[in-house]
């Protein structure tokens, strides 16, 4: 039993974090031809804060979130807690974010973020400021540089200190001829730039990453630290991921993940093994169950304990007849029964807007929006939204809007400027539309989505290009 307890301890301390940019652009998406949906509100039960929160949303004419109101339930009803506001440029890129708190019956500034982009739609700066008494104070500024293929090659992070911005960290990326990231160098500033860590990546002939080596700078030289190995099935799904650590001048295998998929390519089980005495023993198992429409309804986790499995935690989801997520429930096994636990949650609505919250029990409420006839949601301008999802494999959805009847052509180009397919080439009436691009026969890489729309009026010719990243 001691070994089983030790594995539980290791499970708690070996945590893998995935960084996401919660200030990325919110893009429009639509799942059927006549009607789509916006989230009206989300109600979340938060155990740690012993509170229930309601998140309410407002949208612009392209269905991007412009405000999020967070209220907390009191004895007298819903009370303001926090408010977030977003602005966008003509391409749908987020240009600002404002966070406010409620106190003494007024809204008060907390923080804000401002973003700038180049002519290719690449984010080139991110300024973070905090409110101090009566003024905005810069906290951090990130600036980004790109190569001719729009790959981010440099990130410089500056921190405000001693009344000025100063260098703090620098991240440099390099790519191979197939646009695959092959190295990431992280440096910190101490009078000069000093090496900190370096990741090196290798790929197979199909563009799948097969190794990820992490080295750290120690005593004037690069020293091995960890390395991941990946294998794939014929559909480019990861079937094994192995971790080894550099100890006592030798590589020591620590952990191995094995995954299985159903015929639709959805993961149905992930098994994590921990290395003990040159053998792998069961550590953690996640089993995924889907309904007949392919929606995930149960993510069940149990922990290996010698020769048997112990319940660990589970996540239960429900959907309505339109396959929209309606509830999430997170529970943990306390040794004798299931009890609710808080968990981070992020998910998209039918427009591709992402929502981020925390709680143990979440209920999501929608409003129906009919195409052009719905007051307040008419198409006022031409637009092409970013494909969703992005990155994608192998299919992605492209949405666009037409304020008047137009001849529309949507074409895909590779980075050499060569056409690889035409998705749409016909007359369309005013409204919101979507089309699906299946890139199963194309190699991984960056592609350009081009729209050309010629309306009835003489000044209504519209052209726009978006980048899409295919990762197989």
| CATH code, domain carrying 396 | 2.60.40.2550
- Provide the number of structural domains found in the chain: 2
The full DSSP string for 397-418 is EEEEEESS-EEEEEEEE-TTS-
Are the beta carbons of 370 and 376 closer than 8 angstroms?
A: no
pLDDT of residue 250: 95
Q: In this structure, what DSSP letter does residue 387 have?
A: P
Report the C-alpha gap between 393 and 149 in whole angstroms.
Answer: 20
Residue 91 has pLDDT above 90, yes or no: no
Residue 32: predicted pLDDT: 33
Q: Is the pLDDT of residue 11 over 50?
A: no
**Residue that is written with structure tokens 């480019």 in the block:** 236
What backbone phi and psi angles, to 5 degrees, belong to 321?
-65, -15
Rounded Cα–Cα distance for residues 411 and 452 (Å):
9
Spatial CA neighbour of 324 closest among 42, 14, 19: 42
Cα gap 291→435, rounded to integer Å: 25
Do 464 and 396 belong together in one domain? yes
pLDDT at 28 > cutoff 50: no
Do 438 and 342 belong to one domain? Answer: no
Q: Are residues 74 and 8 in the same domain?
A: yes
Give domain status of residue 121, yes or no.
no
Residues 341-362 have pLDDT tens digits of 999 988 877 666 889 889 999 9
Q: Which residues pair with 336 in a beta bridge?
A: none
**Residue 183 lies inside a defined structural domain of this protein:** no
Q: Do 142 and 123 contact (CB within 8 A), yes or no?
A: no
Residue 377 pLDDT exceeds 60: no
The closest alpha carbon to 443, from 417, 469, 406, 409, belongs to 469
Q: Which of the residue ranges 41-50, 123-132, 399-408, 444-453 has the most confident prediction, judged by mean pLDDT?
A: 123-132
Is 458 in the same domain as 348? no
pLDDT for the residue numbered 185: 99
Select from 387, 369, 382, 381 the least CA-distant residue to 434. Answer: 387
Tokens found for residue 231: 């294998």
The SS3 of residue 191 is: coil
Are 415 and 371 contacting, i.e. CB atoms less than 8 angstroms apart? no
Q: How confident is the model at residue 44 (pLDDT cuts 50, 70, 90)?
A: very high
- Note whether 17 and 45 are same-domain residues: yes
Mean pLDDT of 3-7: 42
Q: Indicate whether 173 pLDDT > 80.
A: yes
356 and 389 assigned to the same domain: no
- Looking at the fold, whether 13 and 102 belong to one and the same domain comes out as yes
Query: Which pLDDT belongs to residue 350?
Result: 62
CA distance 333 to 312: 5
Q: Cα(267)–Cα(38) distance, rounded to whole angstroms?
A: 28
Averaged over 218-222, what is the pLDDT?
A: 96
Q: What are phi and psi of 19, to 5 degrees?
A: -80, 135
Average pLDDT over residues 289-297: 95
User: Are 418 and 374 within one domain?
Assistant: no
Question: Does the residue 127 lie in any domain?
Answer: no
Mean pLDDT of 388-404: 85
Kindly state whether residues 458 and 409 are assigned to the same domain.
yes
Residue that wins the pLDDT comparison between 20 and 382: 382
pLDDT at 1 over 70: no
pLDDT in tens, 301-337: 999 987 889 999 999 999 998 888 999 999 999 999 9
Across the range 457-463, mean pLDDT stands at 74
Asked if residue 17 has pLDDT above 50, the reply is no
Residue 86 lies in a domain: yes
User: Which residues constitute the domain of residue 432?
Assistant: 383-470
At residue 10, does pLDDT exceed 70? Answer: no
| In a domain? residue 272 | no
Kindly report the number of other CB atoms within 10 A of residue 49's CB atom: 12
pLDDT at 263 > cutoff 90: yes
Distance CA 370, CA 95 (A): 28
Least confident range from 151-155, 186-190, 461-465: namely 461-465
Of the candidates 354, 378, 402, which is a domain's last residue?
A: 378
Q: Which of 378, 401, 429 delimits the end of a domain?
A: 378
What average pLDDT does the segment 24-43 reach? 54
Q: How many other C-beta atoms are found inside a 10 Å radius of the C-beta of residue 416?
A: 6
Considering the domain architecture, whether residues 11 and 112 belong to the same structural domain is answered as: yes
One domain, residues 438 and 407: yes
Residue 370: strand pairing partners: 35
Residue 73: what pLDDT?
A: 94
Query: At which of 358, 378, 398 does a domain end?
Result: 378
Structural contact between residues 363 and 43, judged by C-beta atoms closer than 8 angstroms = yes
On the question of pLDDT at 69 being above 70, the answer is yes
Domain co-membership, 30 together with 92:
yes
Given a contact cutoff of 8 angstroms between Cβ atoms, the answer to whether 7 and 304 are in contact is yes
Establish if 426 belongs to a structural domain.
yes
Residue 405 pLDDT grade (very low, low, confident, very high; cuts 50, 70, 90): confident
Residue 22 lies in a domain: yes
Cα→Cα distances 254→10, 25, 36, 215, 238, Å: 11, 38, 47, 17, 18
Residue 423 lies in a domain: yes
Lowest mean pLDDT among 11-15, 122-126, 216-220, 336-340: 11-15
> Angle at the Cα of 273 (from 268 to 275), degrees rounded to 5?
165
Place 389 in a pLDDT band, splitting at 50, 70 and 90.
confident
In this predicted structure, the answer to whether residue 288 has a pLDDT above a threshold of 80 is: yes
Calculate the average pLDDT of the chain: 87
DSSP-derived 3-state class of residue 383? strand
């Amino acid at each position: 039993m001691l070994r089983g307890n030790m594995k539980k301890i290791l499970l708690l301390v070996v945590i893998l974090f995935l960084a996401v940019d919660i200030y990325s652009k919110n893009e429009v998406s639509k799942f059927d031809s006549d009607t789509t949906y916006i989230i009206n509100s989300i109600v979340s039960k938060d155990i740690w804060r012993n509170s229930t929160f309601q998140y309410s949303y407002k949208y612009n004419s392209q269905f991007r979130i412009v405000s999020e109101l967070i209220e907390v339930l009191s004895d007298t009803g819903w009370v303001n807690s926090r408010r977030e506001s977003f602005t966008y440029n003509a391409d749908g890129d987020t240009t600002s974010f404002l966070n406010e708190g409620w106190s003494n019956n007024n809204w008060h500034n907390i923080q804000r973020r401002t973003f700038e982009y180049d002519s290719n739609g690449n984010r080139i700066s991110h300024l973070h400021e905090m409110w101090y008494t009566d003024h905005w104070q810069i906290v951090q500024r990130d600036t980004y540089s790109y190569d001719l293929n729009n790959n981010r090659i440099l990130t410089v992070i500056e921190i405000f200190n001693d009344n000025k911005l100063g260098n703090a960290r620098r991240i440099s990326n390099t790519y191979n001829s197939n646009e695959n990231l092959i190295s990431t160098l992280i440096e910190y500033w101490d009078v000069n730039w000093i090496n900190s860590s370096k990741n090196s990546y290798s790929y197979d002939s199909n563009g799948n990453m097969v190794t990820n080596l992490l080295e750290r700078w120690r005593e004037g030289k690069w020293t091995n630290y960890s390395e991941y190995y990946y294998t794939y099935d014929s559909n480019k799904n990861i079937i094994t991921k192995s971790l080894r650590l550099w100890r006592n001048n030798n590589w020591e295998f620590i952990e191995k993940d094995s995954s299985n998929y159903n015929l639709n390519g959805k993961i149905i089980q992930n098994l994590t093994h921990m290395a003990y005495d040159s053998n792998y023993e069961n550590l953690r198992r996640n089993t995924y169950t889907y309904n007949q429409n392919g929606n995930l309804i149960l993510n069940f986790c149990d922990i290996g304990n010698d020769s048997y499995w112990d319940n660990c935690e589970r996540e239960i989801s429900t959907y309505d007849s339109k396959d929209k997520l309606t509830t999430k429930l997170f529970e943990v096994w306390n040794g004798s029964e299931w009890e609710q636990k808080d968990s981070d949650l992020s998910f998209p609505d039918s427009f591709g807007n992402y929502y981020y919250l925390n709680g143990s029990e979440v209920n999501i409420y929608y409003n129906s929006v009919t195409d052009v006839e719905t007051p307040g949601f008419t198409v006022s301008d031409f637009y092409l939204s970013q494909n969703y999802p992005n990155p994608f494999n192998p299919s992605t959805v492209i949405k666009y809007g037409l304020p008047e009847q137009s001849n529309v052509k949507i074409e895909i180009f590779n980075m050499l400027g060569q056409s690889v397919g035409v998705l749409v080439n016909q007359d369309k009436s005013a409204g919101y539309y979507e089309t699906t691009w299946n890139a199963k026969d194309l190699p991984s890489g960056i592609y350009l989505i081009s729209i050309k729309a010629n309306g009835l009026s003489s000044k209504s010719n519209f052209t726009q290009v978006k980048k899409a990243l295919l990762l197989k």
